[in-house]
Chains A and B, each alone.
Chain A
Amino acid sequence: GSITTADGSALVKLGNTTVICGVKAELAAPAVDSANKGYIVPNVELPSLCAERFRSGPPGEEAQAASQFIADVIENSQMIVKEDLCIANGKLAWVLYCDIICLDYDGNLLDASVFALLAALKNVQLPLVTINEETGLSEVNLKQKNSLIIRKHPVATSFAIFDDTLLIVDPTAEEEDLATGTVTIVTDEEGRLCSVHKPGGSPLTGAKFQDCITRAITRHKEVKKLIDKVIKSLTPK
């Protein structure tokens, strides 16, 4: 991956928008009410270096809303099933900390973040962990590594709405500022909708929605081919 110290990582450039995602895996005890589930914790950061409007300090509304959106996409699409992250029921499970950091903001943050997350998770190699029955301690085998089981491949497509009629796919920062609204549609490979995110903005008719969805499904196929090509080109160590 792009970050050597991370368990999995990916750098995505969508036009000028650059987003890097690093996944670190740690061990923790699962929650009491869901003893067979691990955790996935996404965090989107918009540091002040990516655009003039972001100041340093606590995460602003856009970063928090983006983090919530990514968490929802992971949950809705079931791309990683939390039960797969469990090592020993009630005792040990993986926690995947996914840090998504924007390096250059030129619009369409959500699409780029979802791609970066997907590519980084495909890149993750987790060591095999067994629990020693005699001592009750966990043993980590760094020599034997497995990839994560990724069940679905969600792809996000964002549109900028202008005056109730015009729709532009993959808007740049300038287009986003001038737009009167945005829509983001996340589809998976079966053509199912994982998320339809339209945070306010000018109203859309049902027919326009259908138009967006058909384009999102077409785009999904293209993006999936690209991700598969890149992952295959990375030689396994």
Chain B
Amino acid sequence: VSPGDTSVLAGLYGPAEAKVSKELPDRAALEVLLRPKVGLPGVLERSREQLLRQTCEAVILGVLHPRTAISLVLQVLSDAGSLLSCCLNAACMALLDAGLPLNALFCGVTCALQPDGTILLDPTARQEQEARAILTFAIASNERKVLMTTTKGSCSVEEMQQCLAAAQRAATTIFQFYRDSVRRRYSKS
């Protein structure tokens, strides 16, 4: 998945046999690994892995596959801004492609609040640096509810609500893109 020049490769493995230490008796155990482009994974990758894992756990119907393990591996190929939402979109498409049972789809949208108050969606790296605040949302496909939020920089309550509304509107476009991609993929076979 690559909006602009940011690209992330996602690989999903599962539901497969889980190690006894990691298996959960009533649901599938999800593991997310995020590998940065350069360097070893650090604290930032760990915190992003936790965000992605809990977002995916909310949509995957884990109870249909108890005592199994689902591994999601994400490799950052290039980063030109909006990395976290790119990872979210890659994760969702990987889940779709694998055919795992889901109760909703989700998409990632990044909003940048510029110093003059305008809202920019899916900012580039330069726009992210200049922005006063960056908010990333994971929006679910059922009723556009919010699955995950993370913010960088401070903003007022009204600004956050405006960004959320803008993100929910943008989510419709992204879900349409998912539909088109999946249709294209399965049209020849």
Residues of A within 8 A of B (CB): 61-62, 64-65, 67-69, 71-72, 75-78, 164, 180-181, 183, 188, 191-206, 209-210, 213
* Of listed B43, B51, B57, B147, residue having the most chain A CB within 10 A: B43
User: Contacts of B168 on A, CB cut-off 8 Å?
Assistant: 206
* A93 CA to B50 CA, complexed, in Å: 33
Q: CB of B20 within 8 A of chain A?
A: no
Task: Decide if A193 touches B161 in the complex (CB within 8 Å).
Answer: no
User: Contacts of B152 on A, CB cut-off 8 Å?
Assistant: 72, 75-76
Task: Decide if B54 touches A201 in the complex (CB within 8 Å).
Answer: yes
Task: Decide if A199 touches B54 in the complex (CB within 8 Å).
Answer: yes
**Which residue in chain B gives the minimum CB-CB distance to A67?**
B43
Q: CB of B55 within 8 A of chain A?
A: yes
Interface size class of B (residues with CB under 8 A): 35 or more
Contacts A61-B49, A68-B43, A206-B161 given; indicate if A200 touches B154 (C-beta within 8 A).
Answer: no
User: Contacts of B149 on A, CB cut-off 8 Å?
Assistant: 183, 196-198
Task: Decide if A203 touches B146 in the complex (CB within 8 Å).
Answer: yes
Residues of B98-131 at the interface with A, using a CB-CB cut-off of 8 Å, are 104
Q: Which of B47, B104, B135 contacts A196 (CB 8 A)?
A: B135
Task: Decide if A203 touches B140 in the complex (CB within 8 Å).
Answer: yes
Q: CB of B150 within 8 A of chain A?
A: yes
* A210 CA to B147 CA, complexed, in Å: 15
* A61 CA to B56 CA, complexed, in Å: 16
Nearest CB of chain A from residue B158's CB, rounded to whole Å: 10
Task: Decide if A193 touches B160 in the complex (CB within 8 Å).
Answer: yes
Q: Which of B104, B143, B145, B155 contacts A193 (CB 8 A)?
A: B155
6 contacts between A and B (CB under 8 A): A64-B47, A193-B157, A196-B151, A200-B148, A201-B148, A203-B146
Task: Decide if B43 touches A204 in the complex (CB within 8 Å).
Answer: no
Closest 9 pairs between A and B when the two form their complex, measured CB to CB: A200-B54, A203-B145, A68-B47, A200-B55, A64-B46, A65-B47, A198-B149, A65-B50, A194-B154
